[in-house]
Amino acid sequence: MKKNTFFTSPKEKTLWLWAVVVLMAIYASLFLGGQLLDLMVERHIIEQSTFYLFLVLIVAFILSGLKSKKKRMEYWIYAGVIAVYGMALLRMDLSTAERSHMFEYGLFAVLIYEALLERKRNGAQVPYPIVLSIMIAGTVGLLDEVIQYVIPYRVFDVVDIGFNYIAAAIGVLFNIGAQKLHLIFSKWNE
């Protein structure tokens, strides 16, 4: 039986699969958005759901931290960092679409970054995974805007192109910061 050599590990394959799932969700919103998005914005559903999603995320971190007495403080700090990041996003003078881009392209870039890191850990040549993941995610955002140019009820916006790259960079840098914080706490708990 021939072994699949494209992926260097099952973890890498899973990360790429999740990146594709996120990408499909982003592109599905191009065609499914329109009136539904207008209705959700009009009724403030998106702002409310963003707030509640952050609460769920914080609760999940706290509950997972309760499993280990050593890591309890670490999880409280993670929850606090996530809450501060989320509240900063909510306070920014951004449109609902720009806020959603922060999550979409940030998560997409993090999945790509982690897949590239896994690939590099397994001996593959991956030059500059940070830059590469941001460029891939941002370029996918560029393609998203180009598609919007040809869809009648969507709006092409050059600012959104830059914002997609920024969202990707923030996602990757936030992920790296969280990993560094985890290393600090791991040494602290020893």
- Among 4-8, 35-39, 76-80, 105-109, the range scoring the smallest mean pLDDT is 76-80
pLDDT digits (tens, 9 = 90+) for 21-46: 989 988 887 776 556 666 666 776 66
**pLDDT above 90 (res 159):** no
What's the confidence (pLDDT) of residue 14? 92
> Which among 35-44, 140-149, 150-159, 168-177 has the top mean pLDDT?
140-149
Whole-number average pLDDT of the chain: 76
DSSP string over 149-175: HHSTTS---HHHHHHHHHHHHHHHHHH
Contact 18, 109 (CB under 8 A): no
With tokens 């971190």, the residue in question is 61
Count of CB atoms situated within 10 Å of the CB of 109: 33
Query: Percentage helix, strand, coil, to 5, in the chain?
Result: 80, 0, 20
Q: How many CA atoms lie within 13 A of 189 on its CB side?
A: 14
What's the confidence (pLDDT) of residue 1? 43
pTM for the model stands at 0.72
